[in-house]
Structure 1
């Protein structure tokens, strides 16, 4: 019998570690969690790791509590490309946490990760925010309201929630338009009450505040944006992506827009081409060091 030999892997190259259910803050008496994907070397010899750019992902959830693991299998590829990846939960609008609770939580998570950058081998100066559907709405809002005291909790006061680039997939950019389009979606009326309160007279102003399309301010400095949307979306109308891209470009903001032909909301939207499009955008916006495969 011949015994084959393999060389060991002293740098743990290509190995990815999942750190689950990290408590990043508490709000209204409940713990808020995120999960991390990091190089496996972080567990054993973090000091040997060069700091990596951070990719923060917010899963769509109709502004309810996101499922942390929904996209983790796909997000692993971005660790191989040189990122630390975090997936973030936020409070649930249906459980009595109206807007802007979800936005405050996403911003708090970014500050937590900056505060713990050394622990997770994160470069706090390179942070990307990526969201889908309602998570995309949160990502856009967070980028357009960087360090705004109106959406800032007391957690990690010495840290910034500003980001360097944003990816948003099939995101509501005009919330009133989205709700008008999705009147047939079960639970939409309850969701409006939970997000905006019992008085419908107050809804238009709150919907506008929660709409990224109306949060772009002339003369402000914003990160680069990548917007992707399926043109057969049955939940968030496709034109909202084009409207947002047009508004950003008119304000002099760097923006790229991608139409996914024939794609509905979430469902058949995802493909290797979509993930590669995101990777290519990130490579243009973020300095990535070569990583061992």
Structure 2
């Protein structure tokens, strides 16, 4: 996200004894201040995420020189103006580094962890599992703290998870299995954590959006179920898909020829995540493998409703990808809505020297579109 001051707030009576609290108190609070704050809630800038060293794109993730205009057919255009999101209306507790699965990769055990934010309000909370981007190369669960906190403050338990990537020689099958493992684990701990096990959404951005789409499309299918808690369901009730790819062979369709060639080269990050390391196969030439990796292949009446959001100026994932997925949803009669964010690039882009780019994604207008979708699918 664009830089924000890491400020704190207290809504009502101050919390004591919490190890980590999003939007927590910035300093000591006197009795008089407690009484004053109890009468009114203060909002502050949402907390910034720590910087991920060497973060995306990096590691061979190309950035297009040119982007074709995207169609807005069957879509709603959002002009991302107006105020930015604010935090502090609700106290949120964070539990960090919870191990949810320990798969073995190449004979080595990998503990996969999650961070869980839960608002301090009464009753079980609908669960939103957040999947960060990272070009299939990395999955830093500390990313995007501001937007995660904003969603949590609106009454959701938000779990940001690690998942396996090409860095461990893993493929998309492993990544999807990890997401489903996290959902099953959280359902198994629902009573202790205060989660509503009947109401679960996946929310992904970029590579995480691809895994979110695969997770929501494969409700009821067993081929991606691995690990523990197999007596629990991994089905989800909603998918938030932000600037994700779907038909991998067409990821760079909207870009210049040089960028398309880099994306489709053998052992690019996309091909490595489909075929594994050191393979010379590509999704462009192996159509069966591309179909197997496409969430549209698995859509059925059991699939979850989708919301798709994409910037029309995305230089990393072709904007037409979300329209391809919308058409697939309609063909299978799965509920889906596409929003085109006017002038927006690929999420938060300070690594491209544009610290202002992320602000289009953190407006109340855009984030409110997401939270209204979650409210509609998980609360009513």
- TM category (shorter chain) comes to 0.7 to 0.9
Instruction: State whether structure 2 residue 316 is matched by structure 1 residue 240.
Output: no
Instruction: State whether structure 2 residue 292 is matched by structure 1 residue 209.
Output: yes
Deviation at 1:196, TM superposition (A): 0.9
Deviation at 1:163, TM superposition (A): 0.5
Distance 2:136 2:282 in 1: 21
Instruction: State whether structure 2 residue 111 is matched by structure 1 residue 31.
Output: yes
Partner of 1:45: none
The counterpart of 1:83, out of the listed 156, 160, 164, is: 156
Q: How many residues get paired?
A: 274
Report if aligned partners of 1:164, 1:223 keep a CA contact under 8 Å in 2.
yes
Report if aligned partners of 1:196, 1:207 keep a CA contact under 8 Å in 2.
no
SS at match of 1:73: helix
Partner of 1:250: 331
CA RMSD of aligned residues (A): 2.4
Relative to structure 1, the CA distance from residue 74 to residue 185 in structure 2 (aligned partners, 3 Å threshold; closer, same or farther) is farther
> Per-residue CA shift, 1:71-130, capped at 9, x if unaligned?
122211222211111001101223211231111101100100000001110000000111
The 5-angstrom pairing of residues 3-42 of structure 1 reads: 4=32, 6-7=34-35, 14-28=90-104, 29-40=109-120
Report if aligned partners of 1:33, 1:89 keep a CA contact under 8 Å in 2.
yes
Larger helix percent: 1
Deviation at 1:164, TM superposition (A): 0.7
Which ranges of structure 1 fall in alignment gaps of 5 or more residues?
Answer: 42-48, 289-293
Report if aligned partners of 2:219, 2:304 keep a CA contact under 8 Å in 1.
no
Report if aligned partners of 1:93, 1:195 keep a CA contact under 8 Å in 2.
no
Which ranges of structure 2 fall in alignment gaps of 5 or more residues?
Answer: 1-30, 39-88, 349-356
Deviation at 1:194, TM superposition (A): 4.9
Report if aligned partners of 2:249, 2:264 keep a CA contact under 8 Å in 1.
no
Deviation at 1:248, TM superposition (A): 0.8
Distance 1:274 1:281 in 2: 11
SS at match of 2:151: helix
Distance 1:154 1:69 in 2: 24
Partner of 2:183: 110
Partner of 1:287: 379
Relative to structure 1, the CA distance from residue 187 to residue 205 in structure 2 (aligned partners, 3 Å threshold; closer, same or farther) is closer
> Per-residue CA shift, 1:130-174, capped at 9, x if unaligned?
101110010010111124221111310110010111110011011
The two structures have a TM-score, normalised by structure 1, of 0.85
> Per-residue CA shift, 1:176-205, capped at 9, x if unaligned?
111565446689634223531424178432
Higher mean alpha-carbon deviation, 265-274 vs 63-72, is at 265-274
The two structures have a TM-score, normalised by structure 2, of 0.67
The 5-angstrom pairing of residues 40-189 of structure 1 reads: 40=120, 49-178=122-251, 182-183=259-260, 189=267
> Per-residue CA shift, 1:6-46, capped at 9, x if unaligned?
4497xxx93211111110010111100111001357xxxxx
Higher relative contact order by CA 8 Å / sep ≥ 6: 1 or 2? 2
Report if aligned partners of 1:22, 1:33 keep a CA contact under 8 Å in 2.
yes
Distance 1:15 1:251 in 2: 41
Partner of 1:44: none
Report if aligned partners of 2:103, 2:227 keep a CA contact under 8 Å in 1.
no
Higher mean alpha-carbon deviation, 174-183 vs 225-234, is at 174-183
